Every structure is written in structure tokens, then in C-alpha cells.
A and B are shown apart, each in its own frame.
Chain A
Amino acid sequence: DAKTTQPPSMDCAEGRAANLPCNHSTISGNEYVYWYRQIHSQGPQYIIHGLKNNETNEMASLIITEDRKSSTLILPHATLRDTAVYYCIVRVGGTGGFKTIFGAGTRLFVKA
């Protein structure tokens, strides 16, 4: 079972920031928060991950609360091409090869 809870859908205006929340209240100390997205019928695409510090890359920012029980993925200037299903995942990181559980995700609609 997924260890995360996400809203099923969200809307965002083009050019505005999209803030996607995720609850993971049972996260363990050695579990990371990962975000992937899936556009239409393509395979999921990695976006970002973090342990406890906020992270930023060219795609997005990840804000993790101090108690690590929730996080927010921020797309700073959403475009129509960001319309996709966004998955928040918690799993052990490091040596690789660990079971990965995707939930239902959040379907983000970016509107012109």
C-alpha cells in the first residue's frame, strides 16, 4: 500500500506556481521523498527527491516540513506541458533496488 496521500486532482493557471501537496505521516527516518510525473501514456519521469532538507533543481522545488510528515512539490511557472499525473513516493534510498510503491497520484491540469 502507498505510504502517501495526495489530492486526486488540481488545477493551475499557466505561468503561475503549481503547489502539489503530499502527506506521508508514517515516514521512517531512512526513507526519502521522491516525486515522479507521468505525461499521458508515457513512462513515469523522475522529478526530484529529498530526505529532510528542501531541494531545488531545474524542474521543481521540494519543500519538506520539519517533522517530515508532509511535503510540497512546487513547479514555479507551470506550462501546458506540465499537465500530468504527479506521484509522491516514500522509499528507502541509497543502495538502490528497493521496492517502490506508486499511489494514485495527483492529476494536475494546467490551463491557459
Chain B
Amino acid sequence: GAGVSQSPRYKVTKRGQDVALRCDPISGHVSLYWYRQALGQGPEFLTNFNYEAQQDKSGLPNDRFSAERPEGSISTLTIQRTEQRDSAMYRCASSLVGDYEQYFGPGTRLTVT
């Protein structure tokens, strides 16, 4: 079956622009996670959802970052007024409720120039 998909795979944007990153989880997966990963480092938790409810957003760096999952399926991570320090790989993962295994998508490579 289809895995977790993310779009776009690559995004280059100018400083100050807003970007929206999309995650389409595996069908039936209730839990969804967003991570950010800098080169050479482990994934950094940003936020997560159970169904449409955002459970923990303590990892979002500041109020320029927000995420939603309005219908409990596709999720969008939005970064407003992007800065160069936002450049990173943004990864999405999903899992079944009661399941322990997170399935990761291919990621979106964001470059802010």
C-alpha cells in the first residue's frame, strides 16, 4: 500500500515568504507527527495530532510555525515569514492508534534564501 507522502519534496523560498508543507499519512493512521531535521542531527519533534486534535505543540520553535489537520487525515505545517534558520528537512510520520511504530515520509527539504 501507499506510504506516507509529503509535498513538495523540495522547496526554495525567499526570506520573509510563507510556506505550507503537506503530509498525507497512511490511510487509517490516526496519529500524525511533524519533525524537523538539520543535517547531521536527529529528528526534532515539532508537534503531533491524534485524529484532528493537536496533542502537543511544545516543539514548535515560535509562533511563526503552526500546523493543522482539520479532517483527521492530511496535515499542513505552515511557516510564516520564513527565516534562513528555518532551512532544514521537515519530516512527517504517522501511526495507528495503539501502535508503536511510526512510518516516516520522504521529507520536504526547505531552503530559505
Contact = CB atoms under 8 A, between A and B. Distances in A.
Contacts of B44: 102
Interface of B: 4, 30-31, 33, 35, 41-45, 48-50, 55-56, 58-59, 89, 91, 93, 95-107
B71 to A, nearest CB: 17
B105 A101 contact: no
B40 to A, nearest CB: 9
Contacts, number: 72
Contacts of B35: 102
Contacts of B95: 96
A43 interface: yes
Interface of A: 2, 32, 34, 36, 38, 41-46, 49, 85, 87, 93-105
A27 B55 CA distance: 22
B45 to A, nearest CB: 6
Which 5 pairs show the lowest CB-CB distances between chains A and B? A43-B104, A102-B42, A97-B50, A46-B101, A97-B31
Given A44-B43, A46-B100, A96-B50, 11 more contacts: A42-B106, A43-B91, A44-B102, A46-B103, A49-B100, A49-B101, A93-B100, A96-B97, A97-B48, A99-B48, A102-B42
**Interface core residue of A42, A43, A49, A93 (most chain B CB under 10 Å):** A43
14 contacts: A42-B106, A93-B100, A95-B97, A96-B99, A96-B100, A97-B50, A97-B55, A98-B48, A98-B55, A99-B45, A99-B59, A100-B33, A102-B35, A102-B42
A69 to B, nearest CB: 21
B30 A96 contact: yes
Given A99-B59, A104-B41, A94 B98 contact: yes
Contact of B107 (A2, A43, A49, A97): A43
Contacts of A41: 89
Contacts of B106: 42-43
Nearest to B99: A96
A85 B104 CA distance: 15
Contacts of A46: 100-103
